[in-house]
Structure 1
Amino acid sequence: MRFPHVQRILTSLDRIHSYHCINEEADHIMLVGESGVGKSTLLAMYANKHPPIEHEEFTEVPVLYAALGPSPTPKTLAHTLLKALGDQKWYMGREIELSARLVFLIKQCHVRLVIIDEANHLIDRGGEKTLHTAADWIKRLVDATRVSFVLAGIPRTTRLLDTNDQLRDRFREVIEIERLSIDPKPAALEFCSALRTFKRYLKDLPTIDISSSDVTSLFAFATDGRLRDIRRLLVRAVELAYEQPSPKLTDLILAESFRQVIYPCAPDDRNPFHKTFDKTPLVRIGEPFASDKESK
C-alpha cells in the first residue's frame, strides 16, 4: 500500500541504495517511529524487493536486512548480520574475528544497503558504557564497509546518536514515521486517503464509507493512527462481516471487531464505533493507548 509517507521513505531508501562511490562516504538514515506505525513491515518489504542474486562465484546481497533481538552486544549483532548474510559459521569466533569476517562478507557479497531493525534494543540493554560501546561498534562497521546503513527503531533509538558525535555526523538524516492523525487538516486528509486505500481492498463487500471524515475520526480514536492496528481492525471486521447472512461492513461490525482485536471487553462508551462513545482518547490506565514508556 503506497501511502504518501511510505512513498517518501521508499524514495529515500532508493536514493541511498543506489549510492556507489568507493572514495566518498555513503549516506545513512535513522528511521524512527512508535510501535505499530509500519517501520518493520516497510523495511522488510524493501529488502524482499531486492533479494539475493546467485552468481557463479558468489551470492550478491543487494540489501542486507536484520532485526535485533533483546539485549544485543556487538558480538551478537555480528552474529545476527552474519547469519542474515548466509554465513554457515555465523556463531563461531571472537568479536574481533566476527567483525572482520562481517566486513569482508559485506564487501564480498556486494551489499549496497544494510538495514538494522529494532536498533532500540542496543539502548535497552544497559547503561551509558554499553550504549557507547554499541554506538562505537556501529560507527566502525559503517566506516569499514563504506556502504549505506539504515538504523531503525522506536524514538529512543536516537540516543545512539547522542552518545557518539562521529556516529551522529554519519547519520545526519533522521526520518520519523508519525502516526496518522486528524489534526491538522492536511494530516486528516492523509488519514482519509489511507483509509480509502484500505477500502479498495474490500472489493465487493458492501460497506459504510470508512474514508469519510466522521468515520476517519472514529478510526483515529480506535487505532491511535497506527497502521498495524488499522489493518488488524479491518481484517477482523471483514471476517465478521462475512459471517453474517447478508455480509456488510457496518459500524456495529467495526464495534465488535474493536472489542475483539483492540480493546477486549471495552465498555460501550469507550468503543469509538458505538453510538455512546464519549469521544475522548483511549489513554486511561488499562486502555490500549495508555502512555507506554517502551515507545519513548
Structure 2
Amino acid sequence: MSYASRVVWITGASSGIGEALAKALLEQGAEVILSGRRAEALQAVADLAPERTLVLPFETTDYARLPELVEQAWSWRGRVDLLINNAGISQRSLALDTSFSVYRQLIEVDYLAPLALTQELLPRMVEQGSGQVAVVSSVAGKVGTALRTGYCGAKHAVVGYFEALRAEVEEAYGIGVSIILPGSVRTDIARNALEGAGTARGRSDTNIDNGIDPEDAAKTILDGLAAREHDIVVAEGMEQGALQLRTADPEKLFMITSKEGARLAKVRAELGAGASVDPDAVNRH
C-alpha cells in the first residue's frame, strides 16, 4: 500500500519515533498532521513539505480541546485515514520510591490521552466507512520489568483497550487497529523519563543508546501499518526474546525479571531509600 495522498495524524511528532514517522511519510507523499507540545520543533518537520503538512500543537491531556482539534484535523483534507497515537512518557523508578502523582501522570499521558483522542475521532471514521488507528505501546506493554511499574501498567492498559477496540470495529466497520511494540529505540525516552518524585531523569540508558535507529523503527512500523498487522514488534535481541518467552515460557521470563529486580533492590539498599537507581546497575551487580 502506498501512503501517497493518505492523510495521517501523528502525535508526539516533534522528536524520536514520531518525527521519524512524519519524515518517512512525507517522503512517500502523505498528507501529515503534526501534533505535539513543541510548536517550533513541529514546524521544523513541516518545513520539509509545507504544502502537505498541518501543524496542530497541543498538550495530549488537554481533553477539553479535543473536539476543536479533531474538527480542525478533519476539516483540513476532509478526512483522516490513519491516526498514530505516539506521544508518551516513560519511567525510571522503583515502586517503593515512586509517588502516586507519578502513576497518575503516566496513566494520563500514556493511556487516557490516546484513548481520548481515539474516542473523539472514531465516530468520524465509522461514518466515512474506513480508517486505521495505531498506538505506540511498548514491549513493556506485554512484559513487566523493574523500574517501570507505572509505565508498564499504562502500556498494558493501552494494549487492552486497543485490542478490545479492534474486536469492535475491525470487521464491523472496516477500521484497522494496530498496536506498535517498540523495545529500545535511540530516542530521548529515557532522558525524559519520570523518576520517583516526578522529575525528569535527565540522562539516557545504555540500552536506549545502543537501540534501534528511529528511521529503521519508522520503516518497520510503516510496513506493518501498510499490511494492517495487529501487533507490530520493533525490537531485537533480549527484548524480542522477552516477548516470545511471555507466551512460550512465562515462568522462565518471570525468573529473569525477578533476578533483575533483586539486583536493583541491592543497589537501592546500598544507595538508600529514595535514591535514583540507575537501570544500568543490573550490569554491575
Query: Is the shorter-chain TM-score for this pair beyond 0.5, marking a shared fold?
Result: no
Taking structure 1 as the reference length, the TM-score comes to 0.33
Taking structure 2 as the reference length, the TM-score comes to 0.34
Structure in which a larger fraction of residues adopt helix: 2
Task: Choose 1 or 2 for highest CA Rg.
Answer: 1
